[in-house]
Chain A
Amino acid sequence: MSKNNVVRVRGLKKWFPVRRGILAVFLKGEQEYIKAVDGVDFDVNAGETLCLVGESGCGKTTTARTILRLIEPTEGSILYHGEEITTLGKEQLRKIRTKAQIIFQDPFEVLDPRMSVRSLVGEPLEVNNLASNEKELEERVLEALKEVKLTPAEDFARRYTHELSGGQLQRVAIARSLILRPDFIVADEPVSMLDASIRTEIINLMTELQHLHGLTYLYITHDIAQARYIGNRIMVMYLGKIVEGGPIDDVIQEPLHPYTKALISNVPVPDPTVKRKRILLPGETPTPIDLPKGCRFSPRCNEASEECKRQEPELREVKKDHWVACYKV
């Protein structure tokens, strides 16, 4: 182990079977699969923020949920602090989950409107029997609310979700995952539902909490510009595979994979004096059922040659810590 990693993922696959009618089962022999995640390897190092970016349907959320076993993986290994978690039973998994938490995109959906903020934030402690008495529970809830800057905490604890704004709700969701004192948090588009003026506050809060508690983040987003401001490293996913990964500034300033290049060139820039040329990709992302032969990006790639169509390129280290799955680099 070269670096101190919190999570190590190897050969992770998640294939969802395509549901078929009874007739199709007889007429066509083979079961088809949606290959949402189709063999990914990566490490999340202690104390870093690793961003996972890609377009909708590329498998980033499935990857995130699979490594917490909210979705069961089809194949592959997931090590959490060196411990294989794909084979753990329910009780052991529960222990891991107090240390590895997730923050979802939409706090409106996650938080039960019939519960007060106090019960929402205290629930993880109660479920896991981690508070010895009412008093301790109350103290920990208030402490968590203060940490996410919902003050006066006593006042916020009494409120219900409809009395809070979107930004405040997301803070409640963060407090809820922090109260178990985790060391690893998967954040799945945590600010996409919020207005721009509020996003920065949440991003700053997450960074602050990271330093305070030595947290490690796997940060999922479709917004590469945003990733640039929160991540240390970035991985770009396309159709269930990681096509490029490396230190955030390297990848964003000098993308090497043709897909990453196109993706970044299409991100609009909030500066009218900067004129950039959009790289247009032909067609649209195919479904992950019938994957193209060879490199899965080759049908849309303007640099593709025969070689690309024959065999799928593996990730290789092109520069220090900068990995690309492309023959042409």
Chain B
Amino acid sequence: MKVLEVENLSTHYQLGRDTVYAVDNVSFNIHAGETFGLAGESGCGKTTVAKSVMRILPDNGLIATGKIRLDGQEIVGLSEKEARKFRWRKVSMVFQYAMSAFNPVLRVGDQIAEVLREKEGCTKNEAHERVKKLFEEVGLEPSRITDYPHEFSGGMRQRAIIAQALACDPKLMIADEPVTALDVVIQGKILDLLRKLKEKYKLAVLLITHDLSVIAEESDRVGIMYAGSLMEVGDVVSVFKDSLHPYTSKLIGAFPNVAGKKTKLEFIPGTPPDLISPPSGCKFHERCPFAKPICKEKRPKQRQFDKEHLVECHFAGELDLRR
């Protein structure tokens, strides 16, 4: 069952007289019980996709075109009042900055209870009972709901944020860089927890991170973004093992591997483009070692290869991308 369907989504930001083309014609979907990893370098539009789905774009952000269906419901064009109804109940978000996600002067438990009281109309006592259960679910002592955020370590705060995201029993959980600020040992525990919860509640998870190693270990399917476009989508093994887009291949090759053979690390010369005036044609052509004149002239169409492996490259399948 498709929980999230994103179709030809373009999201822009207005910066004075300029327009930032942050997300440009992106399509993908996520099924129940599936983790979809959305990867790419900073500034490629990953978080903007998440904010579009949550409908929490800043005032200068606008969904220009496209459709987003969440649990069957079209959410582009809904008023803020209507958006409040699905937000947190159908889709919730684990934010990147565990340190600042909670208000430091309020008790952690009260802050999560607030979500329940607002969204589900629980009484104070009911809400607190449910927060205790949520704490247990994410591996925190239920007695600690009266603690303040500073009394929690980084890993515990991340668990509390996950508890909050679970509070209203959503269908889709967006985890935006959920482990980036954490040490590897704690990172492993949080990723295990997310996986356990996904399986238990048949959650659809949108995992956003720049770390392709985390994506490789945790995702069922992945999407690789570059400069606002989705360059390649497919199941995790196809995308990592039979990459079709030169960007995907180079980016994966740039990640050091602690296990297995030590091969030469790849790099991509140049820097990602300015999205106020994105390059013509394929956005990667300026940095692509295989670029030909057509890449500058025409944006490649998304083409389907075996199974659900989709790629936006004129020469997909014809290039030797062995690492």
Contacts and interface: CB of A to CB of B under 8 A. Distances in A.
B185 interface: yes
Interface string A107-144: 00000000000000000000000000000000000000
A313 interface: no
A222 interface: yes
B286 interface: no
B271 A198 contact: yes
Interface of A: 55-56, 165, 167, 195-201, 203-204, 222-226, 228-229, 252, 262-274, 276, 278, 280-281, 284-285
A198 B254 CA distance: 8
B41 interface: yes
Interface in B238-278: 240-241, 250-252, 254-260, 262, 265-269, 271-272
Nearest to A271: B216
24 contacts: A195-B42, A196-B251, A197-B254, A197-B267, A198-B268, A204-B267, A228-B256, A228-B262, A263-B185, A266-B185, A266-B187, A267-B184, A267-B213, A267-B258, A268-B213, A268-B217, A269-B258, A270-B257, A272-B236, A273-B240, A274-B259, A280-B188, A284-B186, A285-B183
Contacts, number: 118
Given A229-B265, A252-B258, A272-B217, 11 more contacts: A55-B184, A196-B251, A200-B265, A201-B269, A229-B256, A268-B216, A269-B217, A272-B240, A278-B192, A280-B188, A280-B192
B239 to A, nearest CB: 8
Nearest to B250: A197
Contact of A264 (B211, B237, B258, B271): B258
B214 interface: yes
B91 interface: no
Interface string B191-223: 110000000000000000011111011010000
B149 interface: no
Contact of B260 (A165, A271, A284): A271
B153 interface: yes
A156 to B, nearest CB: 14
B268 A197 contact: yes
Nearest to A262: B185
Contacts of A196: 41, 210, 212, 251, 254-255
B185 A270 contact: no
A328 B155 CA distance: 29
B188 A266 contact: yes
Contact of A56 (B42, B183, B216, B255): B183
Contacts of A200: 254, 265-267
B262 A197 contact: no
B251 A197 contact: yes
Contact of A228 (B41, B189, B258): B258
Interface string B55-67: 0000000000000
A55 B185 contact: yes
* Size class of the B contact interface (CB-based, 8 Å): 35 or more
A36 B257 CA distance: 30
Nearest to A200: B267
8 cross-chain pairs, A with B, having the tightest CB-CB distances, nearest first: A200-B267, A268-B213, A266-B188, A225-B256, A55-B183, A197-B268, A270-B255, A225-B258
A284 B213 contact: no
A165 B237 CA distance: 33
Contacts of B210: 195-196
A167 B271 contact: yes
B149 to A, nearest CB: 16
Contacts of B241: 272-273
Residue of B237, B240, B265 most packed against chain A (CB within 10 A)? B265
A70 B268 CA distance: 35
A280 B210 CA distance: 24
Contacts of B265: 199-200, 203-204, 229
A225 B216 contact: no
B188 A270 contact: no
Nearest to B42: A195
B53 to A, nearest CB: 24
Contacts of A199: 254, 265, 267
B236 A225 contact: no
Nearest to B192: A278
Nearest to A249: B262
Contacts of A229: 256, 262, 265
Contacts of B153: 284
Contacts of A270: 212-213, 216, 240, 252, 255, 257
A70 B130 CA distance: 51
Residue of A56, A201, A225, A270 most packed against chain B (CB within 10 A)? A270
Contacts of B42: 195
Contacts of A285: 183
A62 B103 CA distance: 31
A284 to B, nearest CB: 5
Contact of B214 (A203, A264, A268): A268
B267 to A, nearest CB: 4
Contacts of A222: 183-184
Contact of B258 (A224, A262, A278): A224
Contacts of B255: 196, 225, 270
A222 B186 CA distance: 13
